[in-house]
Amino acid sequence: MKPANRREFLSKTATVAAGASVLATPAIAANRLGANDRIRVGIIGLRGRGRSHMQAIHNLEKQNVELAAMCDVDESVLNERLSDYRKLSGNSPKAHTDLRRILDDPEIDAVTIATPNHWHTLATVWACQAGKDVYVEKPLSHNVHEGRKAVEAARKYKRIVQHGTQNRSSPNIIEGMRRLKEGLIGEVYLARGLAYKWRPPIGKDKPEAVPAGVNYDLWTGPAPKKPFSPLRFHRRTHWLWDYGNGELGNQGVHQLDMMRWGLGLDDHPRTIQSMGGKFIHDDDQETPNMQTASYRYEGRGLVLEFEVRPWITNTEAEIGGKWQTHGLCTGLIFYGSEGYLVFPHYTAYYSYLGKQKKPGPYAEDPTNKIANQPHFDNFIQAVRSREISDLNADVEEGHKSSVLAHLGNIAYRTGRTIRFDSKTETIVGDAGASKLLTRSYREPYVVPEKV
């Protein structure tokens, strides 16, 4: 299959208006912007996190940031969110059901992407090619190959690309990571991530007519085209391999990213193992609802592990008990020679020191109000400065953390220990597993080999 870049795609797609094959001129020059320069943002994908994007951008209006356009392939969702925004701000952004209309708009400076996972990379690449800066939700990619292409596109077109791992901008999390690096709990030997969530059955695959106002072909995008089913739409897609990456790629990327950050892990793991399965529910979920994944880095005397549970469970290290969290028990624990450090959610950390586990330094925000906004603030700061180093979660960091989820899933799906070459981003000695580093793309929605 010959990969097509966005220019080729636009010129070959009949639904694109005449003249749209020319990439939009970058609206922001590659120099520093002043605080008075207006930044116009478009949101792509308006359910779930897209709603949070809308609120965050609205909160930036006083910093001369404008929500100028909204896009969703489902007209009912688009209209609902437009109504929400009119009530919130009194303004009416441009409305689109095709993301290409936003990318071709020379008045749009940046986009935020909150689509299902299978669209994250292609939308990011197209946006970079169109001269837009990007805020993209986690995981950055649907597979390892895609993530590297997103990094290459950001660098080639000199775009600012922020990955949606918002822990990196949370003041209390930043403080906890500083304490960790200063040696608060001594030598770390284990980092353990948890995603114990109340996940009900997702139902059965029952094909039916495409709902009115839904562009199902565009929604499917790079994935195989299958008959429409409510199972393959909106948030259930996390649990189907064509579109999602299971809980490891949904929640896990947050905690895996924090592990890398806190421990200074700038390369990829050498050895990856995973075991689990689909238990409890009688439904058509494909990804495991119970999973453990373990990672070892070359020359590092520590282990990273992540565990997924789907239903009734105990708490751990008081996460989900004394320290309330997102889900039944979701968070991260660092274990060291002098104590352990707990991150139960996006806005707090707690430490316990010595054999007596005496409470040590901590920081918290019971209101949970700092979980989202600082990351968007940081993105806009970098858009103005044009300095990648100003980003708290640059696309390269997003790629490395997303790769952890992808490799864990490959180990699970093959049932084998994975040996990964960090420099070449290839799996060593396993042709079957290597096939899962990428996917077969449905033309013309192809993530290009050369961006």
Encode pLDDT of 395-408 as tens digits: 999 999 999 999 99
In a domain, 352, yes or no: yes
Q: What is the rounded radius of gyration, in angstroms, for the C-alpha atoms of the chain?
A: 21
175: containing domain:
169-203+235-369+403-429
Res 233: pLDDT: 87
- 3-25 pLDDT, tens per residue? 444 444 444 443 333 333 334 44
Between the CA of residue 344 and those of 119, 315, 318, 329, 363, what are the distances in Å?
29, 11, 8, 8, 11
Which residue type is seen at 421?
A: D
Answer yes or no: is 217 within a domain. no
Integer Cα distance of 439 and 143 in angstroms: 8
Nearest Cα neighbor of 69 from 60, 77, 78 is 78
pLDDT, tens digit, 9 for 90 and up, residues 234-268: 878 999 999 999 999 999 999 999 999 999 999 99
Q: Kindly state whether residues 28 and 81 are assigned to the same domain.
A: yes
Helices (H), 72-116: 75-89, 99-103
Q: Write the pLDDT tens digit of every residue in 344-366.
A: 988 999 999 999 999 999 999 87
Q: Which two tokens stand for residue 435?
A: 């096939």
Cβ burial 168-196 (10 Å sphere, 16+ → b, else e): bbbebbbebbebbeeebbeebeebbbbbb
The answer to whether residue 224 is domain-embedded is: no
* Same domain, residue pair 301 and 410: yes
pTM of the model: 0.93
What does the alpha-carbon distance between residue 354 and residue 129 come to, in Å, rounded to a whole number? 53
Q: Higher pLDDT residue, 4 or 81?
A: 81
Establish if 385 belongs to a structural domain. yes
Q: What is the largest CA-CA distance in the chain?
A: 71
Q: Contact at 8 Å (CB) between 221 and 445? A: yes
Number of domains in the chain: 2
Whether residues 254 and 272 share a domain: the answer is yes
